[in-house]
A and B are shown apart, each in its own frame.
Chain A
């Protein structure tokens, strides 16, 4: 179905799929309300607070079983993970990348097309560290994100916000010897999704990171400070530890802003899991 609505003679929206209309008008009765989701988020946080009070250790990562994020229900294992302590494990080494795997323009998402993308130009910079605080140099950092209107250049994203012909939203770079990375991009917009009625994702940039060990692999999302959508978002709230949640939020750093050009954000990333430092540390004996 296609329909066009106009107000004051201006065409506002063209809709090709009934699902989009349904989403725009919130007609899907099978979906939970935001208040139901909020109650579930609060319950999970209370349960975590009780665990902590009973002596459990701090939980740095989201639980894979987190019902407020509806898609997690059938996609998480129910049996506990099996700990591998084998010093010969292949996962203690990992893939490497180099200058042939990136091009110079990959770290500047605003220069990948002939024109300037719409939106607020930003730089995101920080350091990639292992859990000992040691910089991870020469490793691949990949990012992807929605455009300023909150739409991904992905066929499955049918959110009726404009695509930007000058913005794809994909970048990559190698970290420097000090673990540093920098991307120039556009601040992404928030966007609706179908987890529940009136569900909106806070603006975020997806990050993919490698350490020196495959076991340090990390895929995560960086958020922007002060976003009013934080409390409503089950994906961010799946990190039930408040201080851990805070580590997903970048810091606005005025010293990183460039006059008449861009606003600067800083976000350091710390990889979990064992680093492949045992060779250097002589623990292989």
Chain B
């Protein structure tokens, strides 16, 4: 095995992003990808919604990923989101004991996604990353959960920095018990405000 190239300059330039394209569907999504919460957990919450484009049409070929702290506030995550059977290679699903904190779900033909998780500890939001055909570079946003955000209110530096109309795009809305609705609008469609997207310099 040849040696790897000598140590690179201390600050190598980043590899550019490229669109996820239309054909990731047989590669990236996995069974149980949206089920961060163990099955039947009494504290489980549902977060669901739609992804829309600038014409207000649902986006049926987006992939959404979610990352959050565990209910105890731990941010270390745990392996096993994609746990596989070494005999068949098939996805076994999470074993439900460890909290992996990670979800990955494609939107369906209606542009709709659903995840089931447990409320994050020591944070009032779930981090969201959006990929889609037509989107050359993925986007980050956050779904703030209303019952957790009220505790911190505008103490959250991001929410505090936004005008009310922009801030509202980051707020999931309660929709019955333990169910929250959170839409992603990739572009202002003339009626609805575009979602606030984030940069982490």
Contact = CB atoms under 8 A, between A and B. Distances in A.
Contact of A82 (B79, B82, B158): B158
A218 B7 CA distance: 22
Contacts of A170: 26-27
Contacts of B53: 74-75
A180 B4 CA distance: 9
A164 interface: no
Nearest to A269: B15
Nearest to B68: A90
A255 B14 contact: no
A90 B77 contact: no
Interface string B123-143: 101110101111111111000
B7 to A, nearest CB: 7
Nearest to A234: B136
B76 A96 contact: yes
Dominant secondary structure of chain A at its interface with chain B: loop
Contacts of B68: 90
Interface string A147-168: 0000011101100000000001
A236 B19 CA distance: 10
Interface in B69-91: 69, 75-86, 89
B97 interface: no
Nearest to B86: A103
A16 interface: no
B89 A106 contact: yes
Given A90-B123, A91-B140, A206 B13 contact: no
B15 A274 contact: no
Interface string A94-115: 1111111111111000001000
Nearest to B4: A127
A264 to B, nearest CB: 9
Contact of A218 (B2, B15, B57, B187): B15
A50 interface: no
Contacts of B5: 268
A206 B120 contact: no
A118 to B, nearest CB: 19
Contacts of A129: 8, 12
Contact of A214 (B12, B83, B129, B195): B129
Interface string A228-259: 00000001101100011101100001011000
Contacts of B198: 81-84, 91
Interface stretch (A6-14, A23-31, A62-70): A62-70
A94 B81 CA distance: 13
B199 interface: yes
A76 interface: yes
Interface of B: 2, 4-5, 7-28, 53-55, 57, 59, 65, 67-69, 75-86, 89, 100-102, 120, 123, 125-127, 129, 131-140, 157-158, 161-162, 186-188, 194-201
8 contacts: A69-B136, A84-B200, A90-B67, A90-B69, A93-B75, A95-B67, A101-B82, A206-B27
Interface of A: 58, 60-64, 66, 69, 71-79, 81-86, 89-106, 112, 127, 129, 131-133, 140, 142-144, 146, 152-154, 156-157, 168-170, 172, 178, 180, 206, 208, 213-215, 217-221, 235-236, 238-239, 243-245, 247-248, 253, 255-256, 268-274
